[in-house]
Every structure is written in structure tokens, then in C-alpha cells.
Amino acid sequence: MPDPDCPVCRTADIVCGKWTLLIVRDLSEGRSRFCELERSLGGISPRTLSLRLRALEEESIVERRTYPEVPPRVEYALTEKGRALVPIIDSMRTYGTEWLGGTCAEDRPALAAEVVAA
């Protein structure tokens, strides 16, 4: 059984759910609406996205803002606590690029521009 006092175990409990880090990655670019997140996370079901966002709200990693419009508009954004996870994601991106030979879809246009410029 994991040590409930271990900071690594507690962090893993929060961020290691499927899709969770990808949601944080996408929100690190700024506020997003539910449909924008669903589109950027191709393959996630609306139910799963809703559950993950709710769990991240409960952990104060994501804030949900509802605008009094018709139809109602809801946006999600990272809190300060959520933004503190971005360096972990950046480190994972670096590791994946260096050791696994991958690139993120959002990085590919930038890489293509670098190759053309070289």
C-alpha cells in the first residue's frame, strides 16, 4: 500500500489518472471550453472529461467559471496549484523527445518551421 504521507504518492494519486496530465497540458495554454478540450483530446468521452475536470476542481487544480449567458458558457483554467504541474509536463515532454523519440502534435508545426529555417 502506498504511503499516504509520501508527497510523490499523493501527487501520483492526483495526476496519474488517464487523461489527467493531458487535460492539464491543454489548459496550460489558457482557458478552454469543454468542447475545445474534448476536441483537443481526441478519443476522450464526454463523461470521462467531465469526471476528470470535476476531480481536478476538487483538488483545486482547475477552476470552472460559468458566465451568465444564454446559452450558458463555461470555461476551465488552471489555478496556481495547477500551473505548478506544468514543469512536470515539460519534463515529461523532454524525456519523451530525448528517450522515446516522440513529438507532441502541437510541437510538430514548430519543428517543421525549424527544419525549413535550417
Q: β-strand 32-33 against 73-78: which pairing, if any?
A: antiparallel
Q: Whole-prediction pTM value?
A: 0.82
Looking up residue 16, the CATH number of its domain turns out to be 1.10.10.10
Domain hosting 104: range is: 7-117
Q: 82 with 26: CB under 8 angstroms?
A: no
Provide the pLDDT for residue 2: 73
In a domain, 31, yes or no: yes
In a domain, 100, yes or no: yes
pLDDT band per the 50, 70, 90 thresholds, residue 14? confident
Average pLDDT for 9-18: 88
Q: 70 with 55: CB under 8 angstroms?
A: no
In a domain, 32, yes or no: yes
Domain count, the chain: 1
In a domain, 1, yes or no: no
Q: Tell me: the pLDDT tens digits for 70-117?
A: 988 999 999 999 999 999 999 999 999 999 987 776 655 444 444 444
In a domain, 2, yes or no: no
One-letter-per-residue 3-state SS of the chain: CCCCCCHHHHHHHHHCCCCHHHHHHHHCCCCEEHHHHHHHCCCCCHHHHHHHHHHHHHCCCEEEEEECCCCCEEEEEECHHHHCCHHHHHHHHHHHHHHCCCCCHHHHHHHHHHHHHC
In a domain, 109, yes or no: yes
